[in-house]
Amino acid sequence: MSNPINTTLLIIGGGPGGYVAAIRAGQLGIPTVLVEGDALGGTCLNIGCIPSKALIHVAEQFHALQGYAGDSPLGIRAQSPELDLARSVAWKDGIVKKLTTGVGALLKKHKVTVVQGWARIVDGKTVDVDPVAKGKAGAPQRIRCEHLLLATGSEPVALPFMPFGGPVISSTEALSPRKLPKSLAIVGAGYIGLELGIVYRKLGVKVDVIEAQDRILPVYDADLVKPVHAALKSLGIGLHLQTQVLGLSEDGKGLRVQSGKTEDVLPAQQVLVAVGRKPRSRGFGLSSLMLDMDGLAVRVDDRCRTSMNGVWAIGDLTGEPMLAHRAMAQGECVAEQIAGHTRRFVPAAIPAVCFTDPEVVTAGLSPQQAAQAGIDAIDASFPLAANGRAMTLESTDGFVRVVARRDNHLILGWQAVGRGVSEFAAAFGQSIEMGARLEDVGHTIHAHPTQGEAIQEAALRALGQALHV
């Protein structure tokens, strides 16, 4: 075993939570070691958020050009487009490489020691790292620390009767296709399945989505989902709701499904299983610490502390919501506490975005959630069909909705569905975090013509002062 490394902070996992914690710790002068067995950036940068958005952009551009091959109301005519898939994937990979290289440079700039290898926890102050060096095993590196931060992320959930392999793929394989299948069956109508399903359909693949529940995007309320459901139908995506997956057909060329008492086989060259993700809490000795757990998730308090003194946990490892920006905020929170600052992780709202077409964005409470919490609330929606900028972008399907207390008009939540509304997330989160009231947003001058005017108009409508609807 190599000579031990001694450090103040040891971070296991170089995803958004881990690397942000390391950068912030470096800024604060905390000696920090970051251990990562794969590429820096974790799932988000390498096989999740960033590559999926890159392929979404490719699919949108290709689909738009296809629309110009016929009769376009914009007066644009173009020849039928062709797709060079290898070049598209290479472009996506180039973005990933640029971002992950940038993360490495930032860690170096802030004097964070990066150890490439797989961590094995010995105890709450000691970790052994099996190095990764061109496929050759080397002597384990022991690292001792005062603070141990667990940021190991999450992994796709597999179906026990249909494990990953062959025609059964996870989002990882779906984001780096060598060639497109003629048909794709997607198990799960959550955001991962639908985002990728729309990509593949826009690129010309026959897509079927199978969901056990009675509607798509079951974590969102019905009104938000309606425009997405209509768009999927318009694209020709087959939706099989309240349908159970039984497994691959005997010849491996289809997926056996059951709706009620009726069993059927859906043709599918590939099957994408997108039924969710689970905390990555196994395989690195976590159980030896005997931490308090919530199933596979590590239980933490409002300072991201585990049940063992000096051991912290952030991000997907701590359960829902599994969002990169949540992990980043938690990473900053932990680093600042280790530096002696007083910090707690108690956000007023964590925005969430579903990058379907149209997009869905939420922050804070929905009307239903406010009612369930016993809050007397008012809500109001403004349709994008009444927004001039949305008309010029051919994106009038959708709306912006605000939820506020009836007594003092304190804003409790925002929801929106429409093309490009993901960019509303910052305004939504900021208004809730700053304790804004309907009057604050409604009386703030919003630039015209922008889709953001719908935010102001929703607030005004809740006040009974809507101007354009």
In the prediction, which pLDDT does 124 show? 96
CA 452/CA 400 separation, integer angstroms:
9
* Closest among 177, 141, 172 to 154, alpha carbons compared: 172
pLDDT of residue 71: 78
Residue 1 confidence (pLDDT): 66
Instruction: Give the model's pLDDT for residue 173.
Output: 96
**pLDDT band, residue 72 (cuts 50/70/90):** confident
132 or 452: whose pLDDT is higher?
452
Averaged pLDDT for residues 114-118: 96
Q: What is the pLDDT of residue 73?
A: 86
- Residue 284 reports pLDDT greater than 70: yes
| Annotated active-site residue in 63, 229, 325, 448 | 448
Q: Give the tens place of pLDDT for each residue, 352-407.
A: 999 999 999 999 999 999 999 999 999 999 999 999 999 999 999 999 999 999 99
Mode of pairing for the β-strands spanning 311-313 and 141-150: parallel
Question: Model confidence over 295-349: pLDDT tens digits?
Answer: 999 999 999 999 999 999 999 999 999 999 999 999 999 999 999 999 999 999 9
Ranges of beta strands (E only) in 318-410 are 352-354, 359-364, 377-383, 399-405
Residues 6+ apart with CB under 8 A from 253: 267, 268, 269
- Any residues with CB less than 8 A from the CB of 283 and at least 6 apart, and which? none
Q: Which residues pair with 342 in a beta bridge?
A: none
Q: How far is CA 184 from CA 237, 278, 356, in A?
A: 10, 24, 17
| Structure token digits, residue 286 | 């976590």
Lookup result for tokens 């790292």? 129
User: Tell me, what's the pLDDT at 252?
Assistant: 86
Query: Which pLDDT band holds residue 137 (cuts at 50, 70, 90)?
Result: low
133 pLDDT above the threshold of 70: no
**Residue 2 · residue 140 · CB < 8 Å:** yes
What pLDDT score does 77 carry?
Answer: 87
Q: What is the mean pLDDT of residues 407-426?
A: 97
Question: Cis before residue 177, ω within 30 degrees of 0?
Answer: no
Q: Summarize pLDDT for 160-206 with one digit per residue, the tens.
A: 999 999 999 999 999 999 999 999 999 999 999 999 999 999 999 99
- Mark whether 240 is an active-site residue: no
Q: Is 283 exposed, middle or buried (0-12, 13-18, 19+ CB in 10 A)?
A: exposed
- The per-residue pLDDT for 136 is 52
The answer to whether the CB of 467 falls within 8 A of the CB of 460 is: yes
